Chains A and B, each alone.
Chain A
Amino acid sequence: MTMKNKMPMVLDIISDNIIKHGNPLALKGSEAAAWAKGLDLPVKGELLFYTGGEYQMLPFIDSLVKTITHVDQGSKVFSVMMGVRNLIEKKTGINAEKIYASVLAKDKDRYNSVCLKAAKVLQGLGYEFCYAGNEELYSGALLYELGYLEDMREYVENVVEVVKKSGAKTIVCLSPHAAEVFKFVYPKMVEGFDFEIVTFVDLVWQRRDKLTKLQFPGAVVIHDSCRLARELGIHQELRDILDSLGVEVKEAPRNRDWTTCCGGPIKILFPELSHVIGSRRVNELKESGSEHILTSCPYCLSALEGGRAKGDSAIVEDLIEFLYRGVRA
């Protein structure tokens, strides 16, 4: 006898959105690609710039969590798990307007512009790349994370189709989660998936000699992302890049392949606990002696930003945002 489980609805929402809309939060392709307007990036090329919509959807994740926690007047957790029913429309997935009404324009602008900044940084280093624009699809990393592996097997076909259209040989991922699934999961699911997978950090590191020194007062502390440090083995590269910028790096008590998780991965189902873990990590990072935290992962960025206490003087930035200072100068 097969035993089936009825799981928290938020899992169904996320997986359905990915499968039906190509994005965990059903963001429209035009919305996720808005940052590229005016850059005139080609759709074909050797190197494919891949955002997966991950930075763009960050404020919406927070909004989803917040909205579903407020639907039910009762317990916070109860509503996350059970109360989302009202927000689902049979045809369109979640009622985006209801959920996204509370997203602040400044958050939306900030996270959208991360992609633009990444593109500018890479262009500044002489990289030429293409971008799938409105057609770009999310990698499906959350299907993998949340256990929807059979659905993922089908879903990745769509992603591969889009990726192949570009004619690229190499995919550069902004998010380590996308890089992880492209590198380790896709080859097991798709025959002949032989793209070279690199991260944004890899490309910057390769041309770090071209970076201009930054006039940056004080030091920074690196929050190594779990995926980047442990799965992809990238941590010294971040330090080398900062060294090339002439920026001093202070080290947290737990770093590199012993880094402490930001709490982000459990945000959707256990928002309060996730927040506690994020706050603790912020404090641990501050023990380094620097309050300027740099990370290189969208979920770490969002979780640590959320983990700052009210009025906390700590600054949380993505490496992309930090590097962009040099581009503007």
Chain B
Amino acid sequence: MTLKLGRHEFADDATLMMAIVNRTPDSFYDQGATWTEGKAFERVAQVVAQGAEIVDIGGIKAAPGAEVDVEEEKGRIVELVARVREAFPGLVISVDTWRAAVGEAVCRAGADVLNDAWGGADPELVDVAASYDAAIICTHTGGVTPRTRPHRIEYDDVVAAAIADTVAYAERAVAAGVDPRSAVIDPAHDFGKNTFHSLELTRRLGEMVDTGWPVLVSLSNKDFVGETLDLPVGERLLGTLAATAVCAMAGARIYRVHEVVETRQVVDMAWTIAGRRPPARAIRGLQ
């Protein structure tokens, strides 16, 4: 199915890099490196130059931490969204928020996608997406409260749970008026999951792809990579890229990433191995 992300449409076989842009002082990977609006805008320009089709702007770190209320969240990101919209009309702007009030403000400022990392915690977010013809990312968290860590969560079948919840969320979004081409599902590695859950979701990602909804994966430098390889943040790129290759073979369409260039190469390579993309230029043995 054609993917429609707000103002932008993409063909069935397109893979997309969604670059993370944190307008936060405390996110786990960059520790506030792009906290000021100027630095965040520079990061946008950098990832656009690197070929990212999407930026995912967030104003609250996912992990527990200082309370950020609606007004503070809007204050961090709305103006940035407007500035990016004006500077990069061809860029897909996604905003990482679970709050409908924030979603409304950023859509008015030019956002194309609402990335609800917390699995529908605010039921009115879908109505905002529908009102502004925005796309919505429907994640699976196992029903946890936003900004909490998983604790002793277990599933009979984590993949079945992820499929059931994300597909139900996507169908709810469409029922609310979201364009069926604009609902994306995301198993949400690490969210409401231990490392074994995230590994199983990676291994069985094809089952999510088989639902027919476009699949987003957010793997970048996460704890399941770190625990698998016993490596701290900052040393997880290779593990991230290995997981990325597995997800690309399975058919994931959107990759939420810190490292755009490296991920693009891995996805193109895996996508080509899978027979969904031709080589760039092939002459070896064919002269």
Partners in one complex: no
B residues adjacent to A (C-beta < 8 A):
none
A residues adjacent to B (C-beta < 8 A):
none
